[in-house]
Structures are given as C-alpha cells and as structure tokens.
Amino acid sequence: MKVKVCGMRQKGNIEELIALQPNFIGFIFSEKSPRFVGNDLDADFVKSIPNSIKKVGVFVNASPGYILDTVKKYDLQYAQLHGNELPDMCRSIRQKGVNIIKAFSIHDQFNFAMLNNYKSYCDMFLFDTKGDNPGGNGKAFDWSLLKKYDNEKPFFLSGGVGLENIDDVIALSKTLPIYGIDVNSMFETEPGVKDISKLKVLFDKVRVKKEEQAEA
C-alpha cells in the first residue's frame, strides 16, 4: 500500500516528512479548510521535492482555471477533487494532462454504481468519511460498505486511518483494491502540522507488512 500524507503546509514539517519518503504529499487549496496552505507556500521549495514523491493539490469545488494554474505553479502531479465535481469537470482537467483523484464521502446510502460515470475520467478514487467538513474529520466510515465496490479502479482509503486501525486496513487490502491510505488529522499536533514520530511508526508498519507479503 502507498502512503499519502495530506494537509501539509509548513516547510520544516514538510522537510521532516520528505525524509520518511512518503509516496504522496497533499496540499490543501481550499480556503475553508484549517489546513489551507494560504499564500505562504514556497513554490520553488515544493517544486524541489524529489520526483519519487508525488505532489497532490486538494481542491473543493474550485474553478478549472484555478486548479490548472495551481497545478502549474507548484508542479503538482495530481489534482484531488474533494467536492461535488461532476464527471465533465474531471474529464476537462484530465484532458489538460493532469492526473485526477476523485474523492467521495461514503455513508450508508452511498450509491457505488454512480462511480461508473467517473471511472473513465479519473486515475484513482478516494473514499472518505461523510462529515461536517469535506475532509479531515478524523473519523472512519463503516469499511464493510466497501464490499459493495465492484470496480477495478484503485482507490485511497481515507477518514480516521490511524495507528490503532492500520492492521485492519492492511487486512482489508487483501480483499479490496486499496491502492493506498490517505492520512491527515490522526497524525497531527495541530491542523496542518504532522507528528513525524507517529508517522514513522505508521510507515514502519506498512513497509514491514509489504516486505512480509513479498517474502510469502
């Protein structure tokens, strides 16, 4: 499983995270989020992040122009659309050469069949918990709902993923096409600031399991 650490914004904290070599780093470009990067994120610094780490911009119902300008400014590899964006929106941005991660808030009545309208225009899905905010609620949804997912499209599992349930996620990945985990609020000392020591424990757990599976 890949690891995506989202909601980063402080240079020193980002540098510490880079040392752990996550697969993806997420930056939130939604003003309503407490993890909004603001206007202080150094574009040259973000561009200098090693190519082995994919940079993701998180947008909530933003205009295509803003998304494309931001992707170019920070040399982002992915745009994560975390609002109510329609399939045509995904298609138009992807046609500009931007990889798309489309996020969906999962709840008991979620209609997984509607994902068929998106799958041709998205590189990956992200399944998060339906809550008061588009993301970063720190709560897990009922993962048994994912048994209804019959699509081959890989996805990130998000929402309340932490050290206390990572073993459950790893077990779940044996039966579902979980591409990676998206972690955020469960590893924070405050909004936008990650606890690097806790993240190291997570990385060690995920990577040890990966090595064990490879040996098996």
Q: Are strands 124-129 and 99-106 parallel, antiparallel or unpaired?
A: parallel
The model's pLDDT over 113-128, given as tens digits with 9 standing for 90+, comes to: 999 999 999 999 999 9
pLDDT, position 139: 81
Which residue range(s) make up the domain with 68? 2-215
Q: Are strands 188-190 and 155-158 parallel, antiparallel or unpaired?
A: unpaired
Q: Average of pLDDT values for 155-183?
A: 93
pLDDT, position 151: 85
CA 43 to each of CA 34, 37, 48, 169: distance values in angstroms, whole numbers, following the listed order: 20, 11, 9, 34
Count of domains forming the chain: 1
The residue type at 63: S
Max Cα-Cα span within the chain: 48
DSSP letters for 188-200: EEETTEE-HHHHH
Q: Can you say how many angstroms the Cα of residue 17 is from the centroid of all Cα atoms in its chain?
A: 15
pLDDT above 70 covers a percentage of the chain that reads 93
The model's pLDDT over 43-76, given as tens digits with 9 standing for 90+, comes to: 999 999 999 999 999 999 999 999 999 999 999 9
Can you give the pTM of this predicted structure? 0.92
pLDDT, position 152: 86
**Residue 128 token pair:** 């998060």
pLDDT, position 184: 94
pLDDT, position 150: 87
Quick check: 215 pLDDT over 60? no
CATH number of the domain to which 113 belongs? 3.20.20.70
Confidence band (pLDDT; 50, 70, 90) for 90? very high
Do 2 and 179 meet the contact criterion of CB atoms below 8 Å apart?
Answer: yes
Quick check: 212 pLDDT over 70? no
